[in-house]
Amino acid sequence: MMRHEFPGLQQQVHGKPLVYLDNAATAQRPQAVLDAINNYYLKHNANIHRGVHSLSESATELYEQARNSLARLINAPSEKDLIFVRGCTEGVNLVAQTFVRSRVKAGDEILISHLEHHSNIVPWQILCEQTGAKLKVIPMNQQGELVLDDLDQLLNERTKFMSVVHVSNALGTINPVKKLIAAAHAKDIPVLIDGAQATPHIKVDVQDLDCDFYTVSGHKMYGPTGSGILYGKSEHLSAMPPYHGGGEMISKVTFESTVYNAVPAKFEAGTPNIAGGIGLGAAAEFMMTVGMDKIAERDQVLKVYAEQALSEVPGLRLVGTATNKSPVFSFVIDGIHAHDIGTIIDHHGVAIRTGHHCTMPIFQFYGLAGSCRASLAFYNTEQEVDVLVESLLKAKAMFQ
């Protein structure tokens, strides 16, 4: 599906056609994104929001058009509810330090899940160290799904905030976030959803979810690295203090005091990643042109095909077998270290990820140091899955 739009896929590795199956780490970029970045630097290279000359005005227009595109992608009520950040990691840290920190004290609790990426664990641990709050965890089962039997007890009078991943980067599990949000809101507990792996695969509607915050990582959804957005409900963003101080986030500065700018400028101090923001907007437009429903449908076709194909590799065991998941497959093969597998199949042109995937608690749960991970995007093909399986069989044969 629109594979020809991705020039990075049209290359060889070790003399073999590239089979790129590391999309959960970072996706390839369509030509439209590359063109948008190039166009900015060639024709509109100027700082934004500050100049009255033509280049500055055109650059500002492109940047704010990108914000508008991203708002439409996730159905935000207004583009002003979106803050440009470097990615989900910065978005989570921003919320932790500006919205949550002032709301918690010693003995209070922050609730996350066992399926979290380190970027949705460590910021909350730092916050707990700063405030004396405690980190609580929704457990998981062997299938890689959250166990919600005791959710009502976990969401109690001490719980001040919940932050949960939408789609697991390690296992592909799609969490029932709408249900989780509703349960938290029933007890007046605000919720952040880490959408790094969801946005590339499924249609996200922040108004339907009713989440308080939602993070998006640009390079996972075919956009530039070092780009992303944080969505927040307008009433929260207006009440939050700024995260960084500097230019652009102010309306008046004296040596005695500072008056902060309106949202979203209040959270966007200094010269931003202008090209990255414009490129991310182009990625959003590209995905909407393809159609998120079509992307999700293609993902599920690939998921079913890959599950069957991988089951034919003797000694291969999938780690996490959730019913509702994206086409992300963590696996181990008996008697072969994951790094050896990754190195061997790279010589067949196949790119996968090996290690703990920044989710060490997940693999501690399974008693593993890590796994191989093949993560597919809508531009992958069944033939590429076949190449993956063939390369795994060859790697296995080398160790027999």
What's CA 117's distance to the chain center, in Å? Answer: 10
Q: Are 192 and 162 in contact (CB under 8 A)?
A: yes
Strands 159-165, 191-194: pairing is parallel
Q: How many other C-beta atoms are found inside a 10 Å radius of the C-beta of residue 276?
A: 24
Residue 358 known to be catalytic: yes
CA atoms of 162 and 184, how far apart (whole Å): 7
Q: Are 355 and 24 in contact (CB under 8 A)?
A: no
What are the residues whose beta carbons fall under 8 Å from the beta carbon of 347, sequence distance 6 or more?
14, 16
What's CA 362's distance to the chain center, in Å? Answer: 17
Catalytic residue among 88, 211, 358, 372: 358
Give the residue numbers annotated as catalytic, written as ranges: 358
